[in-house]
A and B are shown apart, each in its own frame.
Chain A
Amino acid sequence: MSVGFVMLCHTALDRAAEVARHWAERDCPVVIHVDARVKAPAYDGLVRALGDLGNVRFSGRYACEWGTWGIVAATQEASSVMLKAFPEVRHVYLASGSCLPLRPVEELVAYLDSRPRVDFIESVTTQDVGWTVGGLNVERFTLRFPFSWRKHRALFDGYVRLQRRVGFRRRVPSGLVPHLGSQWWCLTRRTLSAILDNPERGEIDRYFRKVWIPDESYFQTMVRKFSTSVESRSLTLSKFDYQGKPHIFYDDHLQLLRRSDCFVARKMWPQADKLYDTFLLGKGAGQVAAEPNPGKIDRLFSKAVERRTKGRTGLYMQSRFPNKQWGHGRTAAPYSVFEGFSEVFENFEAWLGKVAGTRAHGHLFAPDRVEFAGGETVFSGALSDSAALRDYAPKNFLSNLIWNTRGERQCFQFGPNDVQDCSEMLAGDPNAQISVISGAWSIPLFHSNQNFGDIRREAARLQKIESDHLAILRSHNAKARIRIWTLAEFVENPMEPLQSIVDEISPRSLRRLTEAPTLTDLKGFGQFLQNLRNQGMQPVLMGDFPAGETVPTALRRGRPYLVK
């Protein structure tokens, strides 16, 4: 017999009784401390429930408010009882009322027997601690904390700030190097008695009484003074969430806990019947002499914390609605916006879909309806093609589309004829790849059969809209990958820009484009622009298009020249 358990209990005393009985019946003495705030009937019930066991003791009761000295006082008191009443105990294991042994106690005994001098206690210097809540680590030892963190947070924070400003510092008693770590330890009689019988204990206790959360630092610091062999890890599996609250285990964690090979875990949900039945009553002796391996559980819980603090990028839903200023990605995945391409090329969307292997939509923000790829009336996630529904919340529409199609890149056309509400969102989204051929909107006008006066008016309107849009794209807030060519620039050499865009869309298929889209017929376009000028309008966005009948070389052929 070499290990005794000290249990700190405050709720779910019936479960604590079951665990205490489990240990006591297997010849491990148990000393129980019950929080002084627990009412007498409940306490008496616990004492009665364990009355038949000779190796269970109860120690003097302290009020154990979180983060206060009471917990350490309770631990000291219960440990003293343990050392005095059970002289054969070599290791003392500190556990809570919501702990549950996962492996047969014989395996723990054997494990400790082969390490008779080792103290298992997580003990880390304050500089190396990254997990403290509230950002206080060294200051836990050098400031005063007269106000409760839970009940009077504002006073607590204010008083900390005041002390920092005034430059107040408490002196750490000489010979002590502050260490922090998990509250749950397993110490040898030698170390524990040295801590408890230390002649300077009075002074040290007085100091720690005013340290914040002393249960995570008192033994962790003292052990460095007295122990010859510290193994800095806890034998108790216990994980904390981002608020510093312990994660709770439920019935559906059974397999995970089984495979962890840890000796003891906390914290159990009191009504997790299956866990208690399996681990307390079940005989299933585990794999012999396996080292504790909480890796899987670590991952599960760290993923949960990440979900709570970072969330899934690009998701907008009932419990995740990021503020604009937080600068997280606005959409879930990269996508491409093409402006002017379907005017310059014939059948551009079909070509794009084929070459880049993506979903190539038409004008998603067309004024009459959403032009989903393939003329669909509904799309992924049951998005409707109704323009009214889209325009009710255009940003939601876009983020929904990108979220719903995770794993498949989306491309769509955009232009001055479309609803412009999402301009700023597009420009500010690092996931957007925006390629613009400015002034390309004039090509359909050039081909149209309207009165020239109407064409002129329409051209002026579209040019105004596109200028505003380009100003947004060029503003310093723009985070998208933006490329802008004038129409003249583009038709001079269309393949190079196309190649670089497609390479960016599907980087893995780095190969030359073998099939080029067909350029639309621009014969006489220069004259058309000149006519607009003659009518008093100034078409600027197309760039320097040669007036008259001279057409750039590339345009005379049906298809642009391909470098193979």
Chain B
Amino acid sequence: MSILGAIKLRARRRRAHWRAFRKRRELAVVQDRTRKMAGDAVILLSTLRNEKIRLPFFLRYYRDLGVEHFLLVDNDSDDGSREYLAAQPDVSLWSAKASYKGSRFGVDWLTWLQRRYCHGHWCLTVDVDEFFVYPFCETRPLRALTDWLDASEVRSFAAMMLDMYPKGSIHAHPYQEGQNPFEIAQWFDSGNYTIHRNGGYGNLWIQGGPRARVFFGDNPEMAPALNKVPLVKWHRSYAYVSSTHMLLPRGLNLVYDEAGGEKASGCLLHAKFLDTFADKAAEEMARGQHYGASTEYRAYQESLAKHPDMWCKFSEKYINWRQLEILGLMSKGNWA
């Protein structure tokens, strides 16, 4: 990397911090319980809007994994999400009425919270429809993973998004509050992912899966990115650049081995394709608050009108993390 390139990236990181600093005024405290946070607590951060129906299962899932504190930003919900979250004992909640797009899809708000509260903590940054799976997650809590990463002097941990979908129409089985979404969306694509290296930031750009197969068959460059680095031992000088796909400094993006070995990695099971998705797509289209002028959502809407079945006979039914590891979607690395 040239010196000039390094200077540019540093400037970009500074800018991200500056933006976060300015956007901090958009955050209004609803419930601040950060003082109860232990010095080494594992923290989860997320931005959400009108996700009440998902929240009970979401919180339960991550509490069971061993998340000790939730730092959440509510983007102007009107379905009771805010009241529900404010009542949870391990949640600190901020509300933001400003534009989601204006804060770079929530990244600015979360960057501010990360700088403010997460220095020295392991931080898991996910959306409320993303469920983190890592090697041995049935038997070892998140703390076991972060301890091992600490001992191995690893600062960031990759988890690719794995889009889950039901068999048949997404409307056939309505999602109930508190339900495990993967009772409905049980299926995934096991081996149709493409990888490009992203020169400037050093990360891998992964696309594919059912979204590329069903919605972007003619237009693969536009298919959404699936690579994510959601788990990071935070330092106040870090900043996510584009969602959690990549971050700066760019060494944190080197979550892959180039000499043929496998580093440990996980998956984010993505419970997007439930019956709630059609409404969400319509709402997001109307708001125009999503990435790439919401082209992604436009593609969904056009296809959804035709009631597609994302399932195909080569779809895999989800069993557990070992299955994902055997299929080569994630790896234990040298964790045994």
Contacts and interface: CB of A to CB of B under 8 A. Distances in A.
Given A317-B328, A321-B256, A384-B192, A250 B261 contact: no
A319 B213 contact: no
B227 A318 contact: yes
Contacts of A320: 256-257, 260-263, 331
Give the interface centre of A247, A251, A319 by most chain B CB atoms within 10 Å: A319
B256 A318 contact: yes
Contact of B151 (A248, A271, A317, A326): A248
B331 A307 contact: yes
Interface string A289-322: 0000000000011011101111111011111111
B313 A378 contact: yes
Contact of B261 (A308, A316, A383): A308
A438 B243 CA distance: 51
B255 A389 contact: no
Interface stretch (B21-29, B103-111, B137-145): B137-145
B333 A307 contact: yes
Contacts of A321: 195, 197, 204, 256-258
A345 interface: no
Contacts of B330: 317-319
Contacts of B258: 321-323, 326
B136 A319 contact: no
A448 interface: no
B336 A379 contact: no
Contacts of B263: 308, 319-320
A172 to B, nearest CB: 33
Contact of B190 (A247, A310, A311, A404): A404
Contacts of A243: 152
Nearest to A305: B334
A312 B136 contact: no
Contacts of A44: none
A397 B208 CA distance: 11
A68 interface: no
A400 interface: yes
A159 to B, nearest CB: 22
Interface string A381-414: 1111010110011001100100110000000000
Contacts of B160: 317-318
B331 A317 contact: yes
Contacts of A311: 257, 260-262, 331
Contacts of B192: 381-384, 389, 400
A27 interface: no
A252 B135 CA distance: 12
Give the interface centre of A271, A318, A389, A393 by most chain B CB atoms within 10 Å: A318
Interface in B262-318: 262-265, 312-316
Contacts, number: 179
A308 B220 contact: no
Interface string B154-175: 0000111000000000000000
Contacts of B227: 318
A304 B312 contact: no
A50 B255 CA distance: 44
A386 B312 CA distance: 15
Interface in A301-355: 301, 303-305, 307-313, 315-323, 326, 328
A392 B221 contact: yes
A242 B334 contact: yes
A502 to B, nearest CB: 28
B83 interface: no
A318 B191 contact: no
A386 B191 contact: no
A243 B334 CA distance: 10
A389 B334 contact: no
A326 B196 CA distance: 18
Contacts of B213: 378, 382, 384, 386, 389
Contacts of B194: 392-393, 396-397
A31 B313 CA distance: 64
B151 A381 contact: no
A397 B197 CA distance: 16
B9 interface: no
Given A271-B143, A403-B328, A316 B195 contact: yes
B335 A304 contact: yes
A247 B190 CA distance: 31
B135 to A, nearest CB: 10
A309 B333 CA distance: 9
A252 B136 contact: yes
B191 A250 contact: no
B220 A392 contact: yes
Contact of A382 (B218, B314, B336): B314
Contacts of B207: 392
A93 B116 CA distance: 48
Interface string A462-502: 00000000000000000000000000000000000000000
A254 to B, nearest CB: 10
Given A304-B335, A310-B260, A321-B256, A384 B217 contact: yes
Contacts of B30: none
A270 to B, nearest CB: 8
B87 to A, nearest CB: 29
A245 B152 contact: yes
A241 interface: yes
B262 A307 contact: yes
A300 B158 CA distance: 23
Contacts of A381: 189-192, 314
B193 interface: yes
A396 B328 CA distance: 14
A303 B261 CA distance: 12
A389 B217 contact: yes
Give the interface centre of B208, B260, B331 by most chain A CB atoms within 10 Å: B260
Contacts of B158: 318-319
B313 A251 contact: no
Interface in A70-113: none
B148 interface: yes
Contacts of B144: 250, 269, 271
A389 B219 CA distance: 8
A309 B141 CA distance: 26
B247 to A, nearest CB: 15
B4 interface: no
A278 interface: no
Given A309-B259, A320-B262, 4 more contacts: A304-B332, A320-B263, A322-B260, A389-B208
14 contacts: A242-B334, A269-B147, A300-B336, A317-B195, A318-B227, A319-B264, A319-B265, A322-B257, A381-B191, A382-B210, A382-B316, A384-B213, A389-B208, A397-B194
Interface of B: 136, 139-141, 143-144, 147-148, 151-152, 158-160, 189-197, 204, 206-208, 210, 212-213, 216-221, 227, 255-265, 312-316, 328-336
Interface of A: 241-243, 245, 247-248, 250-252, 269, 271, 300-301, 303-305, 307-313, 315-323, 326, 328, 378-384, 386, 388-389, 392-393, 396-397, 400, 403-404
